[in-house]
Structure 1
Amino acid sequence: MQQIKIGSIYALLAFAIALTSCSKSDSSNVSVGQIQVGQAVSASTPLSGAIKGTMLTGETYTINGDVTINAGDTLLIQKGVTVKVNNAAAIVVKGTFVSLGTKDAPVTITDPSRTKTTGSSTATSDSAYAGGWSGIYCDKTCPLLVIKWTHLDFSGAGIQSIPFTGPSVGDQYCIYFGNPNGNFILEDSWIYGTPDDAVRFYGGHVNIMRNTLEKCGGTGGDGFNAKGGTQGNMAYNLIIGGATNGTKSANDGGIQPQCMIAMYNNTYVNDGYRNAGTFGARGGSVEVENNSRALVYNNLIVNCRFGVRIAGGNNVTAKVYLADTTGPHTGDPIAQTMYGHNFYYADDVTLANQFLPTNIAQAVVTHPQASDVPDMATFLGASYTFGMQYDGTSLVSKNDPLFVNYPLPNKNYQTQASVDSYNFHLQATSPAVGRGYQSFTPISNVPVDANFGSSGITGPGKDLGCYQLDGTGNQH
């Protein structure tokens, strides 16, 4: 086993950051030797307080109180480790946190008192939305958060004391990242059950790829919610049964640089039904709002409450403000908000009526796209003005994406919030196959490294959604 001293981590990081402008095709299955940082963490007694070093393969660790990775320290978790977190404890990261599970031996961080369930799921009946352990909270001093092939189950209990400036007591996220100058890589992992956002970003260079989110958000909350200071990619994720949006960009917080997110080749299923707020003031798949920019391409959106929603109002009550649709701004990671080549399916007219979100509680500026499935530009005609209501009756149960194993029509869309035994890969005859738009470039702003960076910035796929017929994309 290779051992690396903590001081050497930063030399590695410097090398990795030099590769920031590089990108690779999907390399999530690259096999690398395990490494060790500092001393082994003992699994013999429950953990709390300051922690650093390496959690070793095959060990089971117990956390009974908040643990902190101090600035300048590193905690590395090797493959196959299980971490049981009791007493609603939080993992506070002021230094570096790296979890290196593999496909064959993932890491698991969980509340051991909770058990996953299948079938119908509601906010009142399923403890997944109550939160068990408090989550991972990363300070402005955290230079690097890397999570690969890791199960993050039953998080979001609500932090009990403010760990640093930014979060508030009671916040209920699985992951909070707050360093605009830091790097955050979440790849090939699973988040199961949160009361609020699965991931809340207040800054950072991010690559969020090939993950699966289930049962995220009790009566509100998004899957991936990027605020001001955040730039990067959200791609090849499967997001099922989220309370509100699967992916969102919003320039909240007054943090620079401007929030810019490339959201592509995601699969959104049954999202948007547990939000208890004003109908029409939030979305159900993709949301771009509050002076943020986004690229939104190649997404597969099935039985979600709203389609791609480009917010257009300044409704103070709803706290949703105009997306940045200006430009092009030459030289920026995203020159201008652009979207298209997205695929929609609905089993109810109320959903088909929102393939193109309309002005209900607030104005929207989502234009119909001829490249979408269905072709909303042709369906609505030249006289259509964005935001107008329309009759989508003829679109109901049309354009079945032909998943390998998920029967459509399916009227259980409001309560089926987990993957269970279903298979959301595409059949070879799917109308989503071969329709991917590939003439855009993802944001490449994170280090590419087998251990201390991204496994690779996967570019846009040939097929729509997170699963590609050639085996690339999401690996779950």
Structure 2
Amino acid sequence: MKKAIFSALVLVSVIVGCKKMDDPVVTPVVVPPVVQENVGGDVSGVWTKGGTYKITNHLQISEGKSLTIQEGATVIFSDSTVKPEFIVKGNLYVLGTDQNPVKFTVPDAWKVARNEFGNLWGGIIASPKSEELVLKNVIMEYGGAVTTESSPSVKAGLYKAVAGSHVPAVNFTNVNGKVVIINSRLNNQNEDGIYLEGGKVIIANNVIYTQGVSGGDAINIKSGVQADVAYNLVYSPNTNALKLSNAGDRPVQAYVIAYNNTIVNAGWRRPSIKGGSIWVEAGVRAELYNNLFANDRFGIKRDTKLTEDQVQGRSKFANNYYYGYTQQGVDQFQPTAEIIAGTNDVIGKKAGDNDPKFVNFPLDNPSLNQTFNTAWSFKLQAGSPALGKGNTTFTRLFADGITVGGVLYQSPAPATYVGAYGTN
């Protein structure tokens, strides 16, 4: 019996061995990522993973159409004469990953000192018909070109609809729309980073730097917007990290809950006193918690002639944290009729009070310096006095999330620390 079993196993082995020898060798076909030259005009469908798309004319997603841009794609705006705008009348879903972000950029040869503030392509400009916009793990850089009479945004009556205006990196206007901008980076922009005039919005875990030449706020919100703005790092905006306003007379009051943001060197490069960290005005309903202000020109500032919503209990300010390396900076965030004091704020009186103990940032960094060092770390060292100062009891707008492109996005929970980052 054992002999029979052994013989059978040998036979099977021979058959299997012969079959393997007879099988053809299959070599996997490697399909290189797509490269598309001279892209412009109407676009929709899918731009594929790892693809390169060289933009030489204005882009448009038509009403009722959608474009999805997959992880690792690179979108290069490569015509210095046209300086293309990206007009979105339909829906745009830009879906990078942490390891493979999508890039909206320009040729490497253009990334020189004279172009530090972009002005090399337009920006993403959505019409009131656009319903959904997602920017997830996206790098947007060197935008903010100035409009001309022939600009699509001017012809379509979008953004400011006039020639001679630098456009923001992102503009959205539909009060019934939805916007998610998360885990992304906006840098080297000539004007505002994000300019919103409508929609249910989550802006979280982004980094914005080297933005705004003669004006410009990192995040500019008008009437029609309901937004959670959290865990963003903003470095050296020309004016404010956040400008919050109910201007525009849209049917939805601007309501913004901004929490756990780190704002550094804001406002010093603007010669006027328009702002310098967060600016509130014109009936906006604002709740500001757990924000860390380091070396900013002013504290949270209001327009005293056109104030924020001051109906009792509607606008709230609490648990914000201030550090100033210079006495001038410290003096300018002391509470006044213009500078808003919050409950449980941490505000020192002398230069150097309340050092937040960043892991790696020179606190004597010049206030007019707009150049960001990617080696800096705004995480907090163990023992930082900014730990344990956060408020976690407030209710954010989109804790239960908003569904965009079939995906549920939720605003992140607040932290017990202040600022955008905890410890290592």
How far apart, CA to CA, are the structure 1 residues paired with 2:270 and 2:261? 21
Among 341, 366, 373, which residue is 2:319 paired with? 341
1:453: Cα distance to partner?
A: 4.5
In the alignment, is the contact (CA less than 8 A) between 2:321 and 2:418 conserved in 1? yes
In the alignment, which residue of structure 2 is the partner of 1:157?
A: 145
SS at match of 2:37: coil
Among 395, 420, 423, which residue is 2:374 paired with? 420
1:267: Cα distance to partner?
A: 0.1
In the alignment, which residue of structure 1 is the partner of 2:307?
A: 322
Among 286, 300, 304, which residue is 2:292 paired with? 300
In the alignment, which residue of structure 2 is the partner of 1:108?
A: 103
Q: Answer yes or no: is 1:60 the counterpart of 2:14.
A: no
How far apart, CA to CA, are the structure 1 residues paired with 2:91 and 2:327? 48
Mean Cα displacement is larger for which, 62-71 or 246-255? Answer: 246-255
Cα deviations across residues 357-410 of structure 1 (Å, max 9, x unaligned)? 54xxxx6262x34511126xxxxxxxxxxxxxxxx4xx20111101111132x1
1:448: Cα distance to partner?
A: 4.1
How far apart, CA to CA, are the structure 2 residues paired with 1:454 and 1:271? 33
Cα deviations across residues 2-21 of structure 1 (Å, max 9, x unaligned)? xxxxxxxxxxxxxxxxxxxx
Q: Answer yes or no: is 1:286 the counterpart of 2:278.
A: yes
In the alignment, which residue of structure 2 is the partner of 1:439?
A: 393
Cα deviations across residues 281-301 of structure 1 (Å, max 9, x unaligned)? x11111111111100100010
How far apart, CA to CA, are the structure 1 residues paired with 2:109 and 2:279? 31
* Higher CA-based Rg: 2
In the alignment, is the contact (CA less than 8 A) between 2:399 and 2:413 conserved in 1? no
Cα deviations across residues 188-223 of structure 1 (Å, max 9, x unaligned)? 000001121111111111100000001111121101
In the alignment, which residue of structure 2 is the partner of 1:331?
A: none
In the alignment, is the contact (CA less than 8 A) between 1:234 and 1:264 conserved in 2? yes
How far apart, CA to CA, are the structure 1 residues paired with 2:144 and 2:379? 29
Mean Cα displacement is larger for which, 452-461 or 264-273? Answer: 452-461
Cα deviations across residues 414-468 of structure 1 (Å, max 9, x unaligned)? 2144142111111121111111101101112895458644542102111100113
In the alignment, which residue of structure 1 is the partner of 2:15?
A: none
Among 90, 113, 121, which residue is 2:85 paired with? 90
Give the letter aligned to residue 351 of structure 1.
G
Q: Classify 1:126/1:397 alpha carbon distance in 2 versus 1 (closer, same or farther; 3 Å).
A: farther
Cα deviations across residues 39-67 of structure 1 (Å, max 9, x unaligned)? xx974331111000111111111110101
Q: Classify 1:165/1:265 alpha carbon distance in 2 versus 1 (closer, same or farther; 3 Å).
A: same
Give the letter aligned to residue 275 of structure 2.
G
How far apart, CA to CA, are the structure 1 residues paired with 2:417 and 2:333? 20
Give the letter aligned to residue 326 of structure 1.
V
Superposed CA RMSD:
2.1
Among 187, 199, 206, which residue is 2:201 paired with? 206
In the alignment, which residue of structure 1 is the partner of 2:135?
A: 147
Mean Cα displacement is larger for which, 414-423 or 434-443? Answer: 414-423
In the alignment, is the contact (CA less than 8 A) between 1:62 and 1:85 conserved in 2? yes
Larger relative contact order (C-alpha < 8 A, sep ≥ 6)?
Answer: 1
Among 67, 76, 80, which residue is 1:75 paired with? 67
How far apart, CA to CA, are the structure 1 residues paired with 2:326 and 2:339? 23
Among 204, 208, 211, which residue is 1:216 paired with? 211
How far apart, CA to CA, are the structure 1 residues paired with 2:241 and 2:45? 34
In the alignment, is the contact (CA less than 8 A) between 1:185 and 1:454 conserved in 2? no
In the alignment, is the contact (CA less than 8 A) between 1:174 and 1:197 conserved in 2? yes
Among 243, 255, 263, which residue is 1:260 paired with? 255
Q: What are the residue-to-residue correspondences of 1:2-401 with 2, within 5 Å?
A: 43-87=35-79, 88-113=83-108, 127-160=115-148, 161=151, 162-167=154-159, 168=161, 169=163, 170-276=165-271, 278-279=272-273, 282-313=274-305, 321-328=306-313, 336-356=314-334, 358=336, 364=338, 366=340, 368-369=341-342, 371-374=344-347, 392=349, 395-401=350-356
How far apart, CA to CA, are the structure 2 residues paired with 1:426 and 1:414? 24
In the alignment, is the contact (CA less than 8 A) between 1:425 and 1:467 conserved in 2? yes
How far apart, CA to CA, are the structure 1 residues paired with 2:418 and 2:399? 24
The alignment's TM-score, normalised by the length of structure 2, stands at 0.85
How far apart, CA to CA, are the structure 2 residues paired with 1:304 and 1:115? 31
Cα deviations across residues 318-359 of structure 1 (Å, max 9, x unaligned)? xxx22111134xxxxxxx10002111111112211121354x
How far apart, CA to CA, are the structure 2 residues paired with 1:465 and 1:349? 22
Q: Classify 1:373/1:249 alpha carbon distance in 2 versus 1 (closer, same or farther; 3 Å).
A: same
In the alignment, is the contact (CA less than 8 A) between 2:333 and 2:339 conserved in 1? no
Give the letter aligned to residue 55 of structure 2.
I
What are the ranges of 5 or more consecutive residues in structure 2 without an aligned counterpart? 1-32
State, as a whole percentage, how many aligned pairs show the same letter. Answer: 31
How far apart, CA to CA, are the structure 2 residues paired with 1:228 and 1:406? 36
What are the ranges of 5 or more consecutive residues in structure 1 without an aligned counterpart? 1-40, 118-124, 314-320, 329-335, 376-391, 472-476
Mean Cα displacement is larger for which, 161-170 or 58-67? Answer: 161-170
In the alignment, which residue of structure 1 is the partner of 2:22?
A: none
Name whichever structure is richer in strand by fraction: 2
In the alignment, which residue of structure 2 is the partner of 1:457?
A: 411
How far apart, CA to CA, are the structure 1 residues paired with 2:343 and 2:402? 36
SS at match of 2:116: helix
Q: Classify 1:419/1:294 alpha carbon distance in 2 versus 1 (closer, same or farther; 3 Å).
A: farther
In the alignment, which residue of structure 2 is the partner of 1:332?
A: none
How far apart, CA to CA, are the structure 2 residues paired with 1:42 and 1:52? 16
